[in-house]
Amino acid sequence: MVASSRTATAVHALAFLAQWQGGELRSSQAIAESLDSNPAFVRRVLGRLRERGLVVAVEGAAGGWRLAKPAEEITLRDVHAVADDGAVPLPVHAHPPNRNCVIGRHMLSLLESEFADAQRAMEERLAQTSIADLLGRVYRSERAEEAARGN
Amino acid sequence: MVASSRTATAVHALAFLAQWQGGELRSSQAIAESLDSNPAFVRRVLGRLRERGLVVAVEGAAGGWRLAKPAEEITLRDVHAVADDGAVPLPVHAHPPNRNCVIGRHMLSLLESEFADAQRAMEERLAQTSIADLLGRVYRSERAEEAARGN
DNA sequence: TCAAACTGTGACTAATCTGGTTACGGTTAC
DNA sequence: GTAACCGTAACCAGATTAGTCACAGTTTGA
């Protein structure tokens, strides 16, 4: 499979922005540095989140990005649905099967139903975690590592 | 996303084979006709299922394929795990993020954990359906359509 | 013995998507 | 008016997709 890591990129960027609760703007350059990527790619990924109301972009000098709503209200399901738009983890037949066969007549719609259910289960798990949850766990991991190093 | 439809192809082929409970052999040509595809592609997909003990292939004239175990004992999770080998529906970062950033230091492992949980939820849903279940529903749909047509 | 019917597999194709990059126009702050 | 941004189009190499052809190896059965 060649699935895209745009969801991972978007979640990372949103958590990065969530660090500034006041909603200060961060540039795509700054976000790209955290991702070890480049600003144009970040703008492309965040552009979709902007269209769907997850982030706000401000143009011009001193412009940049901020969350459009509290990090508690953005779940991984929201991000996945937007970043990897209609991504289907379990595609059905590439083209319709043979209708002269009883399996061919019915398997396509059965699989559509089964695979949609499975995808929904995945998305419901994603919906249980918010950007705020992840940021909290980032900070917790960081404190744990500092403590382990004896600071 | 560009996920493969090999799971769908494999499930279809297995349900096709499950029609012959006695385990009679069916050729890749016959399976390809049901899929409206071609024998070489079918052999490649089924070849992986053979390596993992889901089907048996018999070479030579009068050769072909049959299920290696009862259709009740083959779930969609089994098929997916084999047909789309280590397919990952939610990949993490394409390359590791910047460790000079607190988000970069921790987001990768957090996402690995979250995405693995989500994938597991999807697979558990797939595990609830067997090839025998699907074949039963194929026959049920067929009978329903015949009844609707007034036979 | 030999032809026919299979599986197994390598090689190739066109199409599509991936992350990455450069370039440049539009917008805004200072 | 310049510098720092976003927005977007265009392009890249690499990977993967389903699909196809070809052919070697195996087995049946006439």
Predicted local distance difference test score (pLDDT) of residue B94? 92
Residue A1 lies in a domain: no
Q: B65 pairs with which residues across the strands?
A: B26, B57
- Candidate from A70-74, B55-59, B124-128, B145-149 with smallest mean pLDDT: B145-149
Per-residue pLDDT reduced to its tens digit, B94-105? 999 999 999 999
Q: How many Cβ atoms from other residues are within 10 Å of residue A2's Cβ?
A: 10
- Can you say whether the dihedral through the CA atoms of A43, A48, A49, A53 is positive or negative? positive
Q: B residues 3-32 near A, CB within 8 Å?
A: 3-5, 7-9, 11-12, 15-16, 19
CATH number at residue B73: 1.10.10.10
Residue B121 lies in a domain: no
* DSSP one-letter code for B71: G
Residue A67 lies in a domain: yes
Residue B97 lies in a domain: no
Predicted local distance difference test score (pLDDT) of residue B86? 80
CB-CB contact of A32 with A45 (8 Å): no
Q: What is the mean pLDDT of chain B?
A: 95
Residues of chain B in contact with residue A103, where contact means CB-CB under 8 angstroms, are 12, 15-16, 19, 34, 135, 138
Q: A2 pairs with which residues across the strands?
A: B2
Per-residue pLDDT reduced to its tens digit, A10-44? 999 999 999 998 889 999 999 999 999 999 999 99
Residue B27 has pLDDT above 70, yes or no: yes
Per-residue pLDDT reduced to its tens digit, A39-63? 999 999 999 999 999 999 999 999 9
Residue A21 lies in a domain: yes
Residue B43 has pLDDT above 90, yes or no: yes
Residue A58 lies in a domain: yes
Tell which strand D nucleotides have any atom below 7 Å from a protein Cβ.
3-10, 14-22, 25-29
Distance CA B32, CA B29 (A): 5
| Token pair listed for A57 | 């972009």
Of B58, B119, B15, B73, give the one whose Cα is nearest residue A93: B15
Residue B115 lies in a domain: no
Structurally, chain A folds into a number of domains equal to: 1
The letter for the amino acid at B92 is: V
Partner A contacted by B121 (CB < 8 A): yes
Question: Residues B8-32: what's their mean pLDDT?
Answer: 96
Q: Do the chains contact at A89 and B91, CB–CB below 8 Å?
A: no
| Token pair listed for A87 | 């991504």
**Domain of B17, in residue numbers:** 6-86+130-148
Q: Do the chains contact at A88 and B35, CB–CB below 8 Å?
A: no
ipTM exceeds 0.95: no
Residue B14 lies in a domain: yes
Predicted local distance difference test score (pLDDT) of residue B1? 58
Of A3, A1, A14, give the one whose Cα is nearest residue A86: A3
